[in-house]
Amino acid sequence: MEKVRLWPEADVRPILSRGSPQTPPEHPLTIRRWRSRSFGISLVEVIACEAGSLGETNMPNRYEGGCHCGSVRYTCTGAPDLTFFCHCSDCQRTTGTPFSVELMISSDSFDVAGEMGTYTVVGDSGKPVHRHFCSQCGSGIYLEGNADPGFVFLKVGTLDDANWVKPDMHIYTKAKQPWIELGDALPRYEKAPEE
């Protein structure tokens, strides 16, 4: 069964050179590279054709979620381009938590229904960021940024089942609360990552 996972290219050089102990030579890999329109970094898709090799996830083909009161529901049918912890001050304030976990997904694979409100701010890019929330209970669902056309950034906490989610990185760590300890080995960026 084919398994797929995305990483920033700089973080998979040992994999690309077949030097990772997690990727024995007997596990054939197909490597494809492309540039993320949103974060401006080169990404690598590692496709491993045997169980137990890199990239194994339990991501469903279709995943759903919604707001706290149930008035807003959504469906996604595409794999996320990236999944990340965002520590920016806007995410802290709009979620009431020290960080947000988000999926960057294609707008074409995202369908939402229900009455929503929108709050627009100017993002770090200098362009508008539109935060969409349930107009009944106030749950933040997703955001869209003019700097990232064709993508939505979905709040992981709104998924019906988020067990399959595997974050790729931490962003905006410059704004991270000092009492939050990052106990993982994920890449960390003071702002959005650059190539």
Condensed to tens digits (0 to 9), the pLDDT of residues 7-43 reads 555 554 444 443 444 443 444 444 444 445 445 555 5
Structure confidence by residue, pLDDT tens digits, 43-61: 544 443 333 333 445 778 8
CA 145 to chain centre: 14
- Give the pTM: 0.71
Class of the CATH domain delimited by 63-175: mainly beta
Q: How far apart are the C-alpha atoms of 33 and 45, rounded to whole Å?
A: 6
Three-state SS at 24: coil
In this predicted structure, what is the pLDDT of residue 2?
A: 38
**Which tokens in the block code for residue 51?**
């169980």
Report which residue type is found at 94. Answer: T
Parse the chain into domains and list their residue ranges. 3-48, 63-175
